[in-house]
Structure 1
Amino acid sequence: MSAEFSVPTVDIGPYVTAGSAAERAQVAAALDAACREVGFIQIVGHGVDPAVIAGLAGAMDDFFALTLAEKKQYVLPPSKNRGYSPPKSESLSYSIGVDSVTRMNDFFEAFNVGASAADYPGAGLSTDDYAENVWPEVAGYETRVSTYYDEASRVAQTLIRIFEDALKVEPGYLEALTDHSIDVMRMNNYALPEGEIELGAELTGMGEHTDFGIVTVLWADQVDGLQVLDSDGQWHDVSPADDAFLINLGDVAARLTNDQWASTLHRVKPPIVNGTIKRRRSAAFFHDGNADAIVGPLPHFVPEGEEPHYEPVTVKEHIVAKLSGSRAGKKNVGGLREAARLNAAAQ
């Protein structure tokens, strides 16, 4: 794969605008092929208004322009997975049980919002799993971010419907695993100031990791930095096409398909162009699944006579282990398959 690596582009319009059954079948087949072969996909035809994306970007700029002391007012305990994360406060590689190559934490800063228990009235959910959001006192921030969040959620739910067709499971199967999904949107700012930088410096924007849940919807600047690991153990630069979102699979998708759809290993390196570091922003919407959903390989993805790659686990148990690595500094010993892929690439 290495010599001809590319990220496929899939137009999901037939699922957004009520296309024909034949058109939807073509989309599902294209997505299935991309998930098996690459694990990263560019999607177009998603229907998100560019003005909504511009609103998100403006809100991010307004918040990240605050002083560090002002931003630190919104730091919450790591278990909440909400609020502000200062630079060098996390190490994403720990979420798969791997030491950072540089032994220094990742230099990005972030702000997280997500689904709260109040978003699913009547479900009796715990705020331990569905924490309340904290909103900074920045004019229009909550409105602009929430508007984009709702659109990203809609795109993720559309992808779930496509996944059901692609995986040939009964309609509603995956929706039942996500009807009170742990959804989190992480807005990232790669916080080294723009300017000259020593090219030999060992810097990590965001360490090697896989995402936790089913699917991630990513908006990002068209600035280099994001890299994806292919099946041959080679890293490749990936940047969103015009008007496209980047989509990648998370660990829950890998569990459901017994690794036929692989959770995508990726990282962010400092975006250096002609010796100068460029600012890079991204917003990742993580559609993780219900906290109490038990996920393991679907029977038709386990060959007869073979043991499945994964034992069943709840989405909550899996996410807690991953967060304990990235945000609390405790290596996730459950990330053996992901760590093995990364270590093989390092060789």
Structure 2
Amino acid sequence: MFVVPTVDISAWVEDGSAEARAATVEALDHACRTVGFMQVVGHGVPAVITDGLASAIDEFFGQELEAKKEFVRPPAENRGYSPPKSESLSYSLGVDPVSRMNDFFEAFNVGASAADYPAVALSEQDYAANTWPSASFQDCVEPYFREARRVARTLTRVFSAALGVDPSFFEQLTSHSIDVLRMNNYALPPGRIELGADLTGMGEHTDFGIVTVLWADRVAGLQVLGADKVWHDVQPAEGALLINLGDISARLTNDQWMSTLHRVKPPVVDGTIERRRSAAFFHDGNADAVVAPLPGFGEPLYDPVTVKEHIVAKLSGSRAGVKNVAAVREASRVLAAATAEHDR
């Protein structure tokens, strides 16, 4: 049976006992090796912060499309507004979608800018400044960004313990991390999209970086590819954050930890799409960090690559339509799942 494990990280948030911390490490390691997703509780994010985030999402996406398009930025900057059908996440894996740039979700991105790391000389191309639609939007989103970053950094401390590396390993890897918060909306007025049996809310993909912290409505839509090559429905448990690993973690562990494929296939009820909101915080690592399998994790399956090189290749696929031909291992899993689904 496919199950997304629940992991309580309160012992690492609140400086718990050695026994409680060890139990968290064991549970997290098991989740990373078997599913690549987990329901994290004990994270300490106040409800008032997530409520504020939800209100900001409602405020922005409730506008007319033309008003939202004022905040479109060049794809390489990974900031601002992405209109419906301007992306195709499966292209980030080098997999041809049914039609190019067909994912119907809309999104708004903010992230860590060069100004956030004043002690380091960073390119604004890699750490772009943010565009804020309104002061009220910024006032609600920034507190959640800080909380999600705290959760991500707490998780990487647990990662260090689980992988048996120096406790400072991930601190060095993320000292000027590319961090992005992507707020997604999966509800569009009738006539804006073509409703059909193969409607794609967000195409199958793996996340790019180290770890993703996801807040989402408890609405069906998210599907995770299990080891059985079957897509399973997943939604956050009450009060939990959904956590999944990204490609950088898979590369570091030589695929012993899983960067799991997932997608969004939204429910269509009476010809309309049930609304679903989500906000994914991507903790990706330093742009200039070189990532390769850690010693002791077997014969390397991946060549060394910088975080920037990896992310640019995937963004060029999903947002600029340039097929990512380097994602050979990931693409093979998508195609195998498609074949299994067809055979059933």
- Do both share a fold (TM > 0.5)? yes
**1:91–1:100 CA contact under 8 A, matched in 2:** yes
| Residue in structure 2 matched with residue 80 of structure 1 by the alignment | 77
Q: Relative to 1, partners in 2 of residues 1:14 and 1:273: Cα closer, same or farther, differing over 3 Å? A: farther
Alignment of 1:254-265 (within 5 A): 254-265=250-261
**2:209–2:246 CA contact under 8 A, matched in 1:** yes
Q: C-alpha offsets along residues 81-108 of structure 1, whole Å, 9 cap, x if unaligned?
A: 0000000000000000001135551000
| Residue in structure 2 matched with residue 323 of structure 1 by the alignment | 315
- Which of 210, 216, 221 pairs up with 2:206? 210
**2:92–2:318 CA contact under 8 A, matched in 1:** yes
Following the alignment from structure 1 to structure 2, what is the Cα–Cα distance between the partners of residues 126 and 200? 43
Which blocks of at least 5 consecutive residues in structure 2 are unaligned?
340-344
In the alignment of these two chains, the number of paired residues is 338
SS in 1 for 2:296: helix
- Which of 17, 29, 34 pairs up with 1:32? 29
Q: Does 1:266 align with 2:262?
A: yes
**Kindly, what percent of the aligned residue pairs are identical?**
70
**2:101–2:321 CA contact under 8 A, matched in 1:** no
Following the alignment from structure 2 to structure 1, what is the Cα–Cα distance between the partners of residues 272 and 105? 17
Following the alignment from structure 1 to structure 2, what is the Cα–Cα distance between the partners of residues 153 and 213? 13
Following the alignment from structure 1 to structure 2, what is the Cα–Cα distance between the partners of residues 320 and 312? 15
* TM-superposed deviation, 1:232: 1.9
* TM-superposed deviation, 1:192: 2.5
Following the alignment from structure 1 to structure 2, what is the Cα–Cα distance between the partners of residues 210 and 101? 18
TM-score, normalised with respect to structure 2: 0.95
Q: Does 1:16 align with 2:13?
A: yes
Q: Relative to 1, partners in 2 of residues 1:103 and 1:75: Cα closer, same or farther, differing over 3 Å? A: closer
Following the alignment from structure 1 to structure 2, what is the Cα–Cα distance between the partners of residues 218 and 175? 21
| Residue in structure 1 matched with residue 334 of structure 2 by the alignment | 342
Q: C-alpha offsets along residues 162-214 of structure 1, whole Å, 9 cap, x if unaligned?
A: 0001111111011110010000000000132389x998532100000000000
- Which of 169, 172, 179 pairs up with 1:173? 169
SS in 2 for 1:144: helix
| Residue in structure 1 matched with residue 45 of structure 2 by the alignment | 48
**1:271–1:280 CA contact under 8 A, matched in 2:** no
Q: Relative to 1, partners in 2 of residues 1:103 and 1:81: Cα closer, same or farther, differing over 3 Å? A: closer
Q: C-alpha offsets along residues 206-227 of structure 1, whole Å, 9 cap, x if unaligned?
A: 0000000000000000000000
Following the alignment from structure 1 to structure 2, what is the Cα–Cα distance between the partners of residues 64 and 192? 10
* TM-superposed deviation, 1:22: 1.4
| Residue in structure 2 matched with residue 314 of structure 1 by the alignment | 306
| Residue in structure 1 matched with residue 342 of structure 2 by the alignment | none
Following the alignment from structure 1 to structure 2, what is the Cα–Cα distance between the partners of residues 275 and 128? 42
Q: C-alpha offsets along residues 211-257 of structure 1, whole Å, 9 cap, x if unaligned?
A: 00000000000000000001121100000000000000000000000
| Residue in structure 1 matched with residue 295 of structure 2 by the alignment | 299
TM-score, normalised with respect to structure 1: 0.94
**1:291–1:314 CA contact under 8 A, matched in 2:** yes
Partner amino acid for 2:94?
G
Following the alignment from structure 2 to structure 1, what is the Cα–Cα distance between the partners of residues 196 and 127? 42
Which blocks of at least 5 consecutive residues in structure 1 are unaligned?
none
**1:74–1:136 CA contact under 8 A, matched in 2:** yes
